[in-house]
Structure 1
């Protein structure tokens, strides 16, 4: 918590709550920027559909984690306000108001823009009222043969209490009239859609004719709901979906086996406390009230949907359709020329550092390095961190092969990578069975650093080869996320990384590093010290500047230091994709701070910190944002780009390039709202397209 010394009467109080935006509200604002991509007519149509699905997915996670945590603390009176000073009750009300705006805009985009334009492209999302007789016959057959046998409709009465409803699943509330076989009056029933059923059904071309035709499972269930309750009259049927708290709270200090404890808790995650109820727009008050009561929610937790309650599933259509003209143009990421021509990667990296800028340059370079290490008899050991790796990555196959080839392989797997816990437990098991030494990191600290260390015998000495990155070892993400990777044989960086891995696997003592900044130890004080150094330069009349690219900024002491730097005359440019709780442009406080967010084809993910340092500029790439959790509660690494040529490249490609964007950039105002950048009289420029044009021709 933020408890600095009070400011002197002559200076503004830089800890005043009015100087800080709400972290939760700032996170919500990010989704409005993503939704703008879904509504942008210049974006290919199927990509717009994907952005709409991304917003729905982000909202799910926002409620599962942020709102769930806030509601929990509020209910137990333990919610001390953050630096913004907003009491939890007021914050929950403000979140609801903003989410209502977002949901309304989301369904307007779906109903009025995306659906009609999909129709124009002969991609039809069919609702019941638009089914042809032939489509209806086929869909009824599909329902009777593929869906009905899997369903277990449940009447609600004293003998059939309200069932457990799994997190984020599709359900139908049904109102019935008439008597059942036992003479009981029918009133209410529930139909739960098992996860085994596809949420969208593709209708064959021979049934529907030219074009593509899809039907949401909810439409199918509602259309044929009467077949589930023969002899009863269906008065109405209404979709609903409940979102539950998904934050895992394993008490790590009290468990003997973290993997086992997590596995056990994951079983119950789907039935944790509800935090949101999504219902169809036409759901009557009585049904809504019944659902609210059964889920122990309040009216303020209900969100009405003018369309499918699980609109997130529309994203499946993007994956199914091969319509390249409705997607972003394909691109071919290249290997750096030096790496492509080098038969022996170790010889090249031993002579000079190699920089990788994903997705413009291929992640295959990392796979190739590990593949060579796996086969090279001179390689003795490989150490690697895996946070989110994906289950189909060749990296894991290579690590298994390396272990079988007799190399000492150690992998640090972060089991608690949110929503990847189950995949990571399976991954850990597979690696252990192959003889890999698997470590789960450090109790109480997520291992978020992205690093690989290869130890190779060369003559009479052992040499260390290093790969460090701002992003995960996830091949699919490397095509969608922007990240910076560094391959180096710098002895000091290699020694530093060796010490970090020793600490992770051996629970060693405090370590002193020469080149790397290491969270939760030196990274946080180093960032503060480098900001203060720029402040001192400005006060001494020297030019001073800070440029940083981050996913998020919310750490109060860092923001306070940036405010002081601005007051002293430091020019500060921040490129922050997601939540930013700093208020730029406040007179006397932050008028020298400018904040922008770039939302484009790729998810901006690289973290880069640059400090002018009176002509001796320093540039670091990192796995860490300037957030409380990254700086204090995670294992993170920031690595310097020591080669001046490569440092200039990183500055130009990530920082200067991002600041030049005037088509996909959003500018943050001091009120917390973003305004889309306008080229004005300047030529339009997209930072991401500029790099695609440069690297991927």
Structure 2
């Protein structure tokens, strides 16, 4: 039998199409009757937000390649032009499904529960009067309609902003009659306005800002006749480019790029479905787009604005039950955190367990007179961060505080610039990592004087130091006083803040140096064991699997007889179930209440099990263009816990698990026969968290 060619394009799923598949799985959560109604609405909004980012980054990048004349295909043999055409077809179907879910499923279900979006054609006389007063009071003073003529060219339209194109008849006071105007919705006003209870028909009645503008747009053009008014939104290239070899100050360069991001090249145009072909084509010409970039929608052009409803509506029965993250029993003592860590490591599993111990770790370090230095990486932290507060307190207390702030964390650049300035003002040393490499590793190093020597304490994580996402994302964090781990982390910080080469790491695997090479070696070792007739097993959980060499190594391991389970939340370019290639590989994705974010890598290793947690996905960028770490879990009890809760439970899920098929589609698992429903996230909530 011929040996299969493991580089054949048919063995690789296109990453863009795989990402659209993930967004379909998110959208299916909005259709799931077992999900609380307002949470279903949130999932619809998340699918819309995901699609925005997909166009801003992925589609924008492909368009740039096409414009530069690139025809180079990836491992899947799609050229940029071919994949753009396929994306357009798939994305149009997805958008159509989104609005079907909104109009045919969610809006009727919300209406049954007295939550209504009142269309302007259904306003009562009292509601219409109130809305007109709102228009005159809140909108009219701030709207600036722009009539288009040689003196008033088509305006610059902000990325993803709400706008209206208006067709007019007649002449204004100056005799002008261009027939077209643009109205830009004020960014300062909410997109959903609650109607007062005394005129509302339901418990929660809302009108869209767009409906108000539609209803009274003629007030903006006195003496003229409005013949059409159509909402539209343009999505622009939002990827930042900074030539780090040509700049002197990364922060100043990033600040300049952030201003330009709002007006990058257009990549998508969304318009109301009643927009006339002439108007739609006019807008396409203004933005330099083609017909395949046009999305006509039956509803608001920005679905994610509906996210606000979940906060505005006080209906707990329509939301997930609140919970209180559990506290590690090890820390429920009067003992300080450093004394506890001197005797054992602490594993935290967010959001089921609280993020507070991480903040306490820093707070105690800030006030402990024996702590000399704190070093930390910050990728995303969020506003009003307790983590940053603790670092500021430590710096003001005279500790040596060094913070590696990643200014290029996508869509958090502005926030990170602000926190970098705040830390510097407090006296902390702030650096921005290594030119050409994003610092994505999540780590804290605390150096403490104990007796006549110094001791390192560390926190290593799979996720960000962000209190809000710690309630929404699944992540692991390890607190440890392990001597070798501490020395390794110290060396990584030396790399990030200084110059020159440092000694090899003893326990950590690190990108861009050893992580890729060591993962390949571990996969190959399992293949060798299987070929020798030994039991061999790989289980890996991550957000994305793209890198071709790792995929080929997994194919080879499967061919050798290694049983491989991959739990990949989002993009997966590996094609499972191919006879003679990937028969022994199963890929599943868990989509539920929490965003799966842990990275866990397990190798049976002939019975001497190896287990790593990591900040890195198996992607080219994580292996070659980022500073990442993978750290071993060696304490038997913690290793056993992660294998059980972080891997085996996920492989037993039969309600929120989607299994990747050979054709690139995903099939949702359902309990069969006498199987009882099993949801890993619900199980972990019951086990670790407490009712709120």
Q: Same fold (TM over 0.5)?
A: yes
What are the ranges of 5 or more consecutive residues in structure 2 without an aligned counterpart?
Answer: none
1:291-330 to 2 correspondences below 5 Å: 291-330=283-322
Report the CA distance between 1:329 and its aligned residue: 0.3
Q: Report if the CA contact (8 A) 2:525-2:605 is conserved.
A: yes
Q: Does residue 603 of structure 2 align to residue 611 of structure 1?
A: yes
Aligned position for 1:575: 567
1:185 is displaced (CA, Å) by 2.3
Match of 1:459 in 2: 451
Residue 633 of structure 1 pairs with residue 625 of structure 2: yes
2:499 to 483, 503, 507: 507
Aligned counterpart, 1:657: 649
Q: Give 1:118's aligned residue.
A: 110
* Residue number in structure 2 paired with 1:695: 688
Shift of 1:206: 2.7
1:45 is matched with which residue: 34, 37, 42? 37
Alpha-carbon RMSD across the aligned residues, in angstroms, is: 1.0
Residues 412 and 439, structure 1, Cα contact 8 Å, conserved in 2: yes
Show the 5 A alignment for 1:203-282: 203-208=195-200, 210-282=202-274
SS of residue paired to 1:549: strand
Residue 86 of structure 1 pairs with residue 78 of structure 2 = yes
Instruction: Note the alpha carbon deviations across 1:403-423, whole angstroms, 9 max, x for none.
Output: 011100011110000000000
Q: Which runs of 5+ in 1 are unaligned?
A: 1-8
Aligned to 1:197: 189
Is the Cα–Cα contact under 8 Å of residues 186 and 232 in structure 1 kept in the other structure? no
Q: Tell me if the contact between 1:519 and 1:630 (Cα under 8 Å) persists in the aligned partners.
A: yes
- Give the secondary-structure state (helix, strand or coil) at the position aligned to 1:243: strand
Contact 1:454/1:464 (CA < 8 Å) preserved in 2? yes
2:172 is aligned to: 180
Bigger shift: residues 304-313 or 183-192: 183-192
Q: How does 1:345-384 map to 2 (within 5 A)?
A: 345-384=337-376
SS across alignment from 1:37: helix
Q: How far did 1:686 drift?
A: 0.2
Q: Deviations over 1:483-538 (max 9, x none)?
A: 01100100000000000011101133154100010001000101111000001101
* Secondary structure of 1:485 counterpart: strand
Aligned to 1:77: 69
Distance 1:399 1:186, change over 3 A: same
Q: Check 1:567–1:342 CA distance in 2 against 1; reply closer, same or farther (3 A cut).
A: farther
Taking the aligned partners of 2:664 and 2:376, their CA distance within structure 1 comes to 39
Residue 564 of structure 1 pairs with residue 544 of structure 2: no
Tell me if 1:100 matches 2:92.
yes
Could you say what secondary structure the match of 2:198 adopts?
helix
Post-superposition offset of 1:88: 1.4
Distance in 2 between the 1:507 and 1:296 partners?
A: 46
Q: Name the residue aligned to 2:676.
A: 683
Matched, 1:493 2:485: yes
Find the aligned partners of 1:392 and 1:322 in 2 and give their Cα distance: 25
CA displacement at 1:184 relative to structure 2: 2.1
> Which of 276, 281, 284 is matched with 1:289 structurally?
281
Please state if 1:159 is matched with 2:174.
no
- Asked if residue 438 in structure 1 is aligned to residue 430 in structure 2, the reply is yes
Contact 1:442 1:507 (8 Å CA) reproduced = no
Of residues 561, 579, 585, the one that matches 1:587 is 579
Question: What's the counterpart of residue 3 of structure 1?
Answer: none
Looking at structure 2, the residues matched to 346 and 422 of structure 1 have their Cα atoms a distance apart, in angstroms, of 34
> 1:178·1:186 contact (CA, 8 Å) conserved in 2?
no
Match of 2:509 among 511, 517, 531: 517
- Give the deviation of 1:17 after TM superposition: 0.6
C-alpha contact 1:551 1:578 (8 A) present in aligned 2 = yes
Q: 1:320 deviation in Å?
A: 2.1
Q: Which moved more, 1:70-79 or 1:522-531?
A: 70-79
**Equivalent-residue separation in structure 1 for 2:238 and 2:163 (angstroms):** 19
Q: Which moved more, 1:243-252 or 1:79-88?
A: 79-88
Aligned counterparts, 1:18-29, within 5 A: 18-29=10-21
Q: What does residue 143 of structure 1 align with?
A: 135
CA contact (8 A) 2:115 2:202 kept: no
| Contact 1:180/1:186 (<8 A) preserved | no
SS in 2 for 1:278: strand
Cα gap change, 1:177/1:511 in structure 2, threshold over 3 Å: closer, same or farther? Answer: farther
Cα shift at 1:209: 5.2
Count of residue correspondences: 689
Q: How far did 1:319 drift?
A: 2.0
Per the alignment, in what secondary structure is the counterpart of residue 318 of structure 1?
Answer: helix
Is the deviation greater in 460-469 or in 199-208?
Answer: 199-208
Answer with 78-87 or 206-215: which moved more: 206-215
What is the SS of the residue equivalent to 2:264? coil
